Amino acid sequence: MSPAVINEAPPSEKKLSLYEASTQCRNWRYSTERLAQIRATLNEAAVTIIRTKIETDEPGSSRNVSFLTPNEEVLLVKLYISKIGQLCGYFRFPEEVEATAITYMKRFYLQNTVMDWHPKNVMLTALFLATKTTNNPISLEQYTTHIPKTTPNDVLDLEFLIAQSLGFEFAVWHAHRALWGIWLDIQNLPDGAALASAEYDAALARVRASRLTDAELIYTPSQIALAAFSLVAPDSAARWITLKNLSESATLLAVLDEIKSMIAHQGLPPDVESVREVDRRLKLCKNPEKVVGSKAYLARKKEEERIAEEKRTKKAELQKAAVNDEQDPFGTNLAPKKGLVDYDDDDDDD
């Protein structure tokens, strides 16, 4: 018995597509201009703060420091992103882990600057986090044992920060899966041509190249996959587009061109020399507060400790007062409270 109405949702209300409902589409999608703006703003703000910190550390020294430009930051991040693939190969992590880790890193640096957090450990931690969120977990010890010069804390310390910067939005839609889907669907073309595996590999390589670019922050995974595919087998791609009734879509065709161009021009790992130069300068303009052992770092730690200590004594006093209250049957005036909850109270055991 088939019913007349399958779905009750009012037909007038626009349906929400699954991708558009995802956090990826809602929160991690930008225009090229916006990306530039974000990076510039982050960079500027960081420079200001760091300059001040350096000044307090050693007055007058900041004049000589050459801070990184936003583009240099991007370059450095790109270098470390390209290392993720190597690590994944070594650990034999699935493609999903690699893709997810790269996405996490990119997103992280839309919230933070390289001068605060060096990409090396961020990269290691993002990868570790990605193994967890994609259900391919590895024990921390196993992980760090196989990475030279890395202690578990190097990774642990950053994990929460990265998760926080991601807004705890861990689910990522990937282009490589979309590519697989195209490859399957191609078999539905009238003359059912299946792709040879060599062609598939080539397309996948293009997808991997796209990971070094900003493509995933601007376009949908399906678009990226189709662009990659189109680079390798343009005829099949065109026929597939027709099959999907999208051959008239100017949007799609324009997008595909843009992505292809991006892959071609930005899809290569950066030149090692230029990056080395950036890395060298980074050592000098890093935020001292974040550098373990520096004066500013220690000062900050002392400040934090002081605040924590204050809180502890205040709490102890309140508790004592409460105990006294109990003995006095009429109680005393309530200790003035800031509000129902002490927002900084999170670090307590309760």
* Positions 156 through 175 that interact with other proteins (CB under 8 A): 156, 159-161, 163-165, 167-171, 173-174
3-state secondary structure of 337: coil
Q: How far apart are CA 77 and CA 321, in angstroms?
A: 53
Answer yes or no whether residue 94 interacts with other proteins by CB under 8 A.
yes
Apex 92 CA angle, 90 and 132, nearest 5: 110
- The DSSP letter of residue 249 is -
| CA–CA separation, 120 and 189 (whole Å) | 45
Taking the complex as a whole, how short is the minimal distance between the CB of residue 246 and other proteins, in angstroms? Answer: 6
42 touches other proteins (CB under 8 A): yes
Q: Are 118 and 282 in contact (CB under 8 A)?
A: yes
Stretch of 58-66, 73-81, 178-186, 276-284 contacting other proteins, by CB under 8 A: 178-186
**Residue from 45, 264, 316, 322 in contact with other proteins (CB under 8 A):** 45
Which residues are CB-contacts of 88 (< 8 A; sequence separation ≥ 6)?
A: 95, 97, 98, 101, 127
Q: Interacting stretch for other proteins, rule CB under 8 A, among 4-12, 79-87, 265-273, 292-300? A: 4-12
Stretch that binds other proteins, among 36-44, 66-74, 271-279, 328-336 (CB under 8 A): 36-44
Closest to other proteins by CB, 150 or 269: 150
Pairwise CA distance, residues 12 & 9, whole Å: 9
> CA–CA separation, 226 vs 242, rounded Å?
13
Q: Which is nearer to other proteins, 108 or 270 (CB)?
A: 108
Q: Is residue 91 close enough to count as binding other proteins by CB under 8 A?
A: no
What is the footprint of other proteins within residues 282-321 (CB under 8 A)?
290
Phi, psi (deg, nearest 5) at residue 288: -60, -30
CA–CA dist 121, 112 (Å, integer): 14
Q: Is 179 helix (H, G, I), strand (E, B) or coil?
A: helix
Number of residues that bind other proteins (CB under 8 A): 106
Q: Does the protein bind other proteins through residue 20 (CB under 8 A)?
A: yes
Helix (H, G, I), strand (E, B) or coil at 209: helix
Residue ranges in 48-87 that form contacts with other proteins under rule CB under 8 A: none
Q: Is 182 in the site for other proteins (CB under 8 A)?
A: yes
Q: Is 185 in the site for other proteins (CB under 8 A)?
A: yes
CB 76 within 8 Å of CB 275: yes
CB 211 within 8 A of CB 202: no
Q: Which stretch binds other proteins (CB under 8 A): 181-189, 261-269, 320-328, 330-338?
A: 181-189
* Tally of CA atoms within 13 A in the half-sphere of 105 that contains its CB: 36
Tokens 């002081």 belong to residue: 306
Q: Does the protein bind other proteins through residue 111 (CB under 8 A)?
A: yes
Q: Is residue 93 close enough to count as binding other proteins by CB under 8 A?
A: no
DSSP string, 150-166: --HHHHHHHHHHHHHHT
Residue 101 within binding range of other proteins, rule CB under 8 A: no
Rounded to a whole number of angstroms, the minimum distance from the CB of residue 323 to other proteins is: 20
**Segment 255-284, which members bind other proteins (CB under 8 A)?**
255, 258
Q: Does 251 bind other proteins (CB under 8 A)?
A: yes
174 touches 192 (CB < 8 A):
no
Q: Exactly one of 128, 207, 211, 279 binds other proteins (CB under 8 A); which one? A: 128
Based on the shown chain and the rule CB under 8 A, indicate whether residue 13 belongs to the binding site for other proteins: yes
DSSP state of 293: T
Which among 177-185, 231-239, 261-269, 321-329 is the span making contact with other proteins, rule CB under 8 A? 177-185
State yes or no: residue 189 binds other proteins (CB under 8 A). Answer: no
Q: Considering the complex, what minimum distance in angstroms separates the CB of residue 141 from other proteins?
A: 8
